Structure 1
Amino acid sequence: MAVAIIQNDTVVYEKCFGVINLTTQEPVNADTRFQLASISKSFTTATIASMVGTGDLAWDDSAVEINPDLQFSDPWITEHVTIRDLLSHRTGLPEYAGDELAEFGYNRSETLFKLRYLALTGAFRSSYAYSNLGITAAAETAAIKAGIPWDELISERIFIPAGMTNSSAVFSDFAEAENHADTYVVTNGVAEQTAVLFNDDANSPAGGVSSTLNDMIRYLRLQLNDGNLDGVQVIDASALSETHKAQNILLSDYTTISAYGLGWDVVSADGRVRVEHGGDFTSGVSTLITLYPAEGMGIVVLTNGFPGGHVLKKAVVRGWEDMYFTGSVQNDWYAEIEEEINAAMEPGSSVLSPYSTLPEAPENASSPRDLVNYCGSYYQDYYGTITVEEGDSGLNLYLGPAEMQYVLTPYDGDAFYEPTTGTGVYFTFDSDENVQSVNITMLDLPGRTGVFTLI
């Protein structure tokens, strides 16, 4: 873990804890690269703010006029959606839609093309649903306007002028760096290293930036100094300020306003405003950056563990906030946040665990047909083609360009069980006993269906 606090452009706390790898025991230092996950969104909006400040783009520009390939399932929304809409999670896209496509091996352009097959689940400009795909769509639109790839644009507009020499929006730059933090799933104090580092290049504008504590200190200063760093105006102050303003209200009552800005959460509570964003990969990344603009103060926490790191980052920031504003810690934040994340990981309870699991198979369960009857290729527009083949213990299902393998074991008749998610897979046959379709229930998610037709 690495933590830094700045106030009035001065570092008031900076410390690194732990190791980058449990086997080598090499310690974390201020130049260790961490994956930032969704803190990346603020880098995307900072990049676009830079373009707004130089007159190359406007927040309310039509996205489709710049990027004609950007198509929603509703043509009216396609025609009217703006850069601001995409960056503030108010397009009506389903929550987290598209994330699974990257996991299945689809690249960025393929994933963005499939946006047109998503049924919209929210009201345009009057609803909120967190959308990595929307952020990526805005970034790609900006890159088209600039005439260069996204990773070059963010480097040219932010990393280079801000002197962030160990930051990148390309996964290989992180993975190949000798001093990078390997990732761990940390549960109940036990850490297990992730077999493969998570590559988020497909959604890099939403989650693919990596950086170091030293670079993030520079980033905190940039954000808190109205886009100015060491006397250089990296981003126009007015354009950057717009990213910190509420664009989409989530909650408003007598004591609290909670909103999404442009790549930032904006919260007004307890008589003060904080602008922040967290990031999480279930593969073993958890990060948090919080700005207190009125106090000229900011804090960043980088960890290479999940869900343990998620608990730790929030407890550190909320504890520091208590200490600074009241003089003492007001709550057992670690216990409270741990309870919240454990509840969120219960099956079917949240995006972290969206699946409702099957019960035990009935005692009188029917045997499946000969397995060859289920085999073949099936298709739908959004998820693409899947292949089902006979396997050693049932059926093998292969999904996406990555051909991710899922083993399906017999459950009851034409129903099979997928053990990693605990969900069902159901085949449908016609009156001539020929297979017609399959419903993969782990893919039955808001705005998309898990039904595939035999081809």
Structure 2
Amino acid sequence: MKLSVLITSLLITTAFSVKAQTKSKVAVQKSSIDSVLNQVLKDQHIAGFAVAIVKGDQVIYSKGFGYRDLENKKPVTPNTLFAIGSSSKAFTSSLVGLLEKDGKLKLDDKATSLLPQLSFYNAEMNNQITVRDLMAHRTGLSRYDLSWFLFNTANRDSIIKRVKYMKPTSGVRERWYYNNFMFLAQGMIVERLSGKTWEQNIKEKFFDPLEMTRSNTDIETFKNDSDAALPYTVVNGNEIKKIDYYNINGMGPAGSINSSVNDMANWLKVWISGGYFKGKEILPTNYIREAASSQMVMDAGLPNKHNDVFLSNYGLGWMIGSYRGHYSVEHGGNINGFSANVAFYPSDKLGIVVLTNQSVSKVPDIITSAIADIMFDLKPVDWNGEAKAETEKANKANKELKKATIISNTNPSHPLKDYVGSFENEAYGIIKVTLENNALRTILGEEKILLKHMHYDVFDPKSVDKNGVVDTAQSNLMFNFSSGVDGKISGIGIFLDGSEKPVMFDFKPEVKKLEAKILENLVGEYMLGKTPAKVYLKGDVLYVSVPGQPEYETVVVDEKTFELKALEGYSIKFEGPSGKKATSMLLVQPNGTFKATRKN
């Protein structure tokens, strides 16, 4: 009897001891995390950030640091909203996973068969590329990010049509190239097969059942929230500067979710548990396993500076790696003024989310790695110190970076008015150049731009803020205007998305409409020597044809002058009394002007 009491007493004492040790360990971990994060806030020149840590189905740490509004000293809280950028991608791919569960598609279905609006550069790509290829960034298409970033529109059909003009960098599944358009395509497939918008699907399938009550996909809702972070960037090495929000609505499925760390903790619980939240299935376990497993090699992924950090693969909306002996699944996010990282370690039942209000910040990665070291009882790496040293080195290099050489005493080859007009690249969009106060101007994205003459026909685009102040920093997007054989401005060459050659934007003549009666007076057969030239209408468009040649569509210049759309430097000009049938037609070509008289 006494022995039984003694054993029971020992068990109770041991249980209390283990529990006390666990509480003590957690307290030490939290203290260590607080210390590291406060140091990061001090060293990384960041307005603010928030962090949440999930262990199993419990949030064991949730805290804000710094300010969501630096000027007014409004602090970040665990409920503060941040844009999570590309950390949204796992949500979009998960919607596709749910469609597969419902039998509405298979991941290896041909993408173009599910989305008629989607067409690739050639028939081979159209026939080969599957939904899984879209999800794993293995289509062979490089980023083309400035296509949507500088030429944004809320019209998703309009944006996805640009894919047809994007030249592949490699064959399908040969190399990994990140491409946001492929996640737009997934979102549009979801819309088509569900009959609801991507935004509605995200709310109904994830936000509502996961009790993510703070989260949204709308920029106006985000901006008007009483606990929303303002967007910032760092300039001149250490100066924190407030910038404008960016509306990514058109490309929403690739990165328009706004959330808090408390809400994102519930999303992490789903992935840690194998698809469940509070006992209810949110995602199929088999989809979780596929999405968090390697589908494509990103790069070699060999150990570099740190021997225990390696592997660089991509799953379905997630990046896969090995972090110091622990299988890691994560995805970052960047959009103007915000950076994020959402990570989980399946074998350890651990999840970490870090959200910041700073552009292209290293802070989410620093914090994720530092917290992982503490939670895994690893010898800590000074990730913060390494990042600080790298930033200082980069800042020094930027100061020493030579500006592009300006050739003095040169002038534009044309009067400024000749550079005015619209210039189009079908994979990107339209640049409209205007002349205001004797200066060329345009708009890129939502930014007003002053085109400052650099030399010859090269202009340096300068951002102009709301107060009319011009940014003095030299751009890397020089506008190089080119001329055609007729001497007229014919296009703009710009180095975009790291291209080795300039991306050409061709001059797009303004479409003018003429009254039917004016056009009818030009219709007829004209004789160029013994060769007949027919002029006729298709709808309200004038066409010209000569035997042995294709028909030529024309573009209106004025009531008497028309350019041949397919032939640069070629035009026709009609002669005759105003208001009556034309008596002759001049064919203007680079090698001369030839007259054809009316036959009938």
TM-score with structure 2 setting the length: 0.68
Q: What's 1:351 paired with?
A: none
Paired residues of 1:318 and 1:333 also in contact (CA < 8 A): no
Map 1:255-404 → 2, pairs under 5 A? 256-281=310-335, 283-307=336-360, 310-336=361-387, 339=390, 343=394, 359-366=404-411, 368-392=413-437, 394-398=439-443
Kept after mapping to 2: 8 A contact 1:377/1:388? yes
Distance 1:41 1:446 in 2: 29
Q: Please state how far the C-alpha of 1:111 moved relative to its aligned partner.
A: 1.1
Which residues in structure 2 correspond to 1:46-445 (within 5 Å)? 46-95=94-143, 97-107=144-154, 108-187=156-235, 188-194=237-243, 196-252=244-300, 256-281=310-335, 283-307=336-360, 310-336=361-387, 339=390, 343=394, 359-366=404-411, 368-392=413-437, 394-398=439-443, 405-419=448-462, 421-442=475-496, 445=499
Structure 2 distance, partners of 1:233, 1:204, is 25
Report the residue type matching 1:190 in the other structure: E
- Which structure has more RCO (C-alpha within 8 Å, separation ≥ 6)? 1
Give the Cα separation in 2 of the matches to 1:446 and 1:63.
29
**1:49-90 deviation per Cα after TM superposition (whole angstroms, max 9, x unaligned):** 222233333211222112111101122212222111001100
Once the two structures are superposed, what CA deviation does each residue of 1:104-133 show, in whole Å capped at 9, x if it has no partner? 332322111111111111220121111111
For structure 2, which runs of at least 5 residues remain unmatched after alignment? 1-48, 304-309, 464-474, 510-600
1:189 shift after superposition: 4.1
Q: Using the alignment, how far apart are the partners of 2:429 and 2:60 within structure 1?
A: 52
In structure 2, give the amino acid aligned to 1:207: G
Question: Any conservation in 2 of the 1:94–1:447 contact (CA below 8 Å)?
Answer: no
Residue type of the partner of 1:262?
A: L
Judge conservation of contact 1:280–1:286 (CA < 8 Å) in 2: yes
Please identify runs of 4+ aligned residues in structure 1 that moved more than 6 A. 344-347
- Within 1, Cα distance between the matches of 2:404 and 2:152? 31
Identity score, percent: 27
The aligned amino acid for 2:480 is Y
**Cα deviation code 1:296-347 (max 9, x no counterpart):** 111111111234xx22222111112222334431234343366269759988
Distance 1:316 1:254, change over 3 A: closer
Q: Is the 8 A contact 1:19 1:28 kept in 2?
A: yes
Residues 359 and 337 (structure 1), Cα distance of their counterparts in 2 relative to 1, 3 Å cut? same
Closer, same or farther: CA 172–71 of 1 in aligned 2, 3 Å = same
Which amino acid in structure 1 is aligned with residue 390 of structure 2?
Answer: E
More off after superposition, 415-424 vs 261-270: 415-424
- Which moves more between the two structures, 290-299 or 423-432? 423-432
RMSD: 2.7
Q: Which amino acid aligns with 1:105?
A: N
Rate the CA distance shift 1:172–1:241 in 2: closer, same or farther, 3 A: farther
**Which amino acid is the alignment partner of residue 288 of structure 1?**
N
Letter in 1 for 2:384: W
Supply the distance in 2 between the matched residues of 1:4 and 1:285 (Cα, whole angstroms).
17
SS of 2:352's equivalent in the other structure is: strand
- Amino acid across the alignment from 1:370: P
| CA shift for structure 1 position 285 | 0.5
- The range that moved more, 356-365 or 75-84, is 356-365
SS at match of 2:61: strand
2:580 corresponds in structure 1 to none
Local SS of the residue matching 1:276? strand
Distance across 1 between alignment mates of 2:152 and 2:449: 15
Residue 200 of structure 1: how far off its partner (Å): 1.2
CA distance in 2, matches of 1:399, 1:2: 32
Consecutive unaligned residues in structure 1, runs of 5 or more: 348-355
